[in-house]
Amino acid sequence: MSDKTTIGVGMIGYAFMGRVHSQAWRSVSAFFDLPLVPRMAVLGGRSKESTEAAAAQLGWADVETDWRELIKRDDVQIVDICTPGDSHAEIAIAALQAGKHVLCEKPLANTVEEAEAMVRAAQAAPSSVKSMVAFNYRRVPAIALARRYVEEGRIGEVRHVRAAYLQDWIVDPEFPLVWRLQKDKAGAGALGDIGSHIVDAAQFITGQQLVGVSALTETFIKERPVAAASAGLAATGTGDMGPVTVDDAALFIGRLSGGGLASFEATRFAFGRKNAMRIEINGSLGSLAFDFEAMNELWFSSGGGGFERILVTEPDHPYVGAWWPPGHGLGYEHTFTHEINDFLAAIATGADPSPSFADGLRVQRVLEAVERSAAEGSRYMNVED
Ligand code: SOE
């Protein structure tokens, strides 16, 4: 007889993030030995027909067209929020108040105020009710290994973080005005969508916080064709034009709590860069470098010569032992499987999952400080607590 317990999941949203989360919910217990086995109980979406089609394709047992009904269901113990940022706070707070565990896509919210309310709801919930924000890049084995190296003191004291997240999917001015380009839906542009990832990664790997920033942001294309339909990061437009209300690129420098300096570049206008999430950390004894477009590699310099390439596919590397033999490599989707494994493990053991909503709020405060700085001619802004 199995000593495993089934736990019901209700996921809201089934576009790019919903698809990749579905893949992770489907595969996690086949690869990780967990006391809790997820059951993909309900998929939430607005249109019954499309949600049913997505549920059939992605492996969900049932659908709801009102997220409030999904949260109420007895067969749902975990609520997974894969919607645009404008609905995160309302759904997460209601789910926590209903006693459900919550996994929420990043960035945690569209504003600091919403993120604060989410943290309050997480803190007011019983300690057995868990919440986590989905900064999946923490679960790239090479990034988790970089953190291990920093913790072990292998690069010494952190002096510089040099982080960039470069994409090019909206470089064409005719690319439609999808929700990620609308402030009321996404909160911010490249800054929130991909800048949030590198802020989280920098804080995660170094174990430090950004305490102040100085920033520039720009919107290169001010108007775009209104979107008719979108799927993943692809979209078709109508003949009408509408205003882009978010940044296309954000550049900022910052100071870390340990005294080191950091630079960040988040842009969707880097021709040829598809998902180049890069981070380099220079310490007093050595350096680490990572590029997501070669995500199974971590580069390490221990001081003397140049960089040594570590192929992060060994069984003793973070998460890798659950998968394939050395050299066979992992992909983007595995980072979500790792994230969901860690979330289920926290629920099962009673540990606090990380990154918590409080960690998500901290990132939100950095994003807000970047916007304040950019609005005031790059003035240095403290990240307020
Ligand atoms: C689009 O820029 C996007 O899908 C982000 O929203 C994700 O968080 C990132 O992982 C890939 O790019």
pLDDT one-digit tens code per residue, 64-79: 999 999 999 999 999 9
Rounded Cα distance between 58 and 46, Å, is: 16
Decide: 134 in ligand 1 pocket, CB within 6 A: no
Return the pLDDT at 281. Answer: 98
How many DSSP H helices and E strands does the chain contain?
11, 17
pLDDT one-digit tens code per residue, 239-279: 899 999 999 999 999 999 999 999 999 999 999 999 999 99
Q: Say if residue 185's pLDDT is above 90.
A: yes
Q: Taking a C-beta distance cutoff of 8 angstroms, is the pair 82, 21 a contact?
A: yes
Q: What is the DSSP string of 21-81?
A: HHHHHHHHHHHS--SEEEEEEEEE-S-HHHHHHHHHHHT-SEEESSHHHHHH-TT--EEEE
Across the chain, mean pLDDT equals: 97
Neighbour-count burial of 271, counting CB atoms closer than 10 A to its CB (0-12 exposed, 13-18 middle, 19+ buried): exposed
Rounded Cα distance between 9 and 75, Å, is: 8
Rounded Cα distance between 275 and 135, Å, is: 15
Structure tokens belonging to residue 19: 């698809």
Q: Taking a C-beta distance cutoff of 8 angstroms, is the pair 111, 88 a contact?
A: no
Rounded Cα distance between 384 and 365, Å, is: 7
Q: Taking a C-beta distance cutoff of 8 angstroms, is the pair 223, 299 a contact?
A: no
Cβ–Cβ contacts within 10 Å for residue 355, how many?
A: 21
Instruction: Give the residue, 316 or 305, on which the prediction is more confident.
Output: 316
Q: Taking a C-beta distance cutoff of 8 angstroms, is the pair 373, 381 a contact?
A: yes
3-state secondary structure of 275: coil
Give the helix, strand, coil percentages of the chain, each rounded to 5: 35, 30, 35
Mean pLDDT of 321-346: 98
Return the pLDDT at 303. Answer: 78
pLDDT one-digit tens code per residue, 203-238: 999 999 999 999 999 999 999 999 998 888 899 998
Query: How far is it between the farthest Cα atoms of the chain?
Result: 65
Q: Which residue, 199, 81, 92, 138, is CA-closest to 354? A: 138
Return the pLDDT at 332. Answer: 98
* Ligand 1 atom 9: residue of nearest CA: 194
Decide: 167 in ligand 1 pocket, CB within 6 A: yes
Q: What is the Å distance from ligand 1's center to 165 Cα?
A: 10
* Spatial CB neighbours of 349, under 8 Å, sequence gap ≥ 6: none
Decide: 114 in ligand 1 pocket, CB within 6 A: no
Decide: 194 in ligand 1 pocket, CB within 6 A: yes
pLDDT one-digit tens code per residue, 335-369: 999 999 999 999 999 999 999 999 999 999 999 99
Q: Taking a C-beta distance cutoff of 8 angstroms, is the pair 85, 110 a contact?
A: yes
Decide: 339 in ligand 1 pocket, CB within 6 A: no
* Ligand 1 atom 5: residue of nearest CA: 193
Q: What is the Å distance from ligand 1's center to 305 Cα?
A: 35
Q: Taking a C-beta distance cutoff of 8 angstroms, is the pair 71, 79 a contact?
A: yes
**What is the ipTM, given to two decimal places?**
0.96
* Spatial CB neighbours of 179, under 8 Å, sequence gap ≥ 6: 84, 185, 186, 227, 230
Decide: 193 in ligand 1 pocket, CB within 6 A: yes
* Spatial CB neighbours of 164, under 8 Å, sequence gap ≥ 6: 198, 264, 265, 266, 276, 277, 278, 279
Q: Say if residue 132's pLDDT is above 80.
A: yes
Beta bridge partners of 310: 298
Structure tokens belonging to residue 66: 């009102």
Helix ranges (DSSP H) in the chain: 16-31, 48-58, 67-72, 88-97, 112-124, 141-151, 183-186, 190, 196-206, 332-349, 357-375
* Spatial CB neighbours of 134, under 8 Å, sequence gap ≥ 6: 17, 21, 103, 104, 105, 106, 336, 339
pLDDT one-digit tens code per residue, 25-73: 999 999 999 999 999 999 999 999 999 999 999 999 999 999 999 999 9
Decide: 219 in ligand 1 pocket, CB within 6 A: no
Return the pLDDT at 2. Answer: 67
User: Cα-flanking dihedrals φ and ψ of residue 52, to 5°?
Assistant: -65, -40
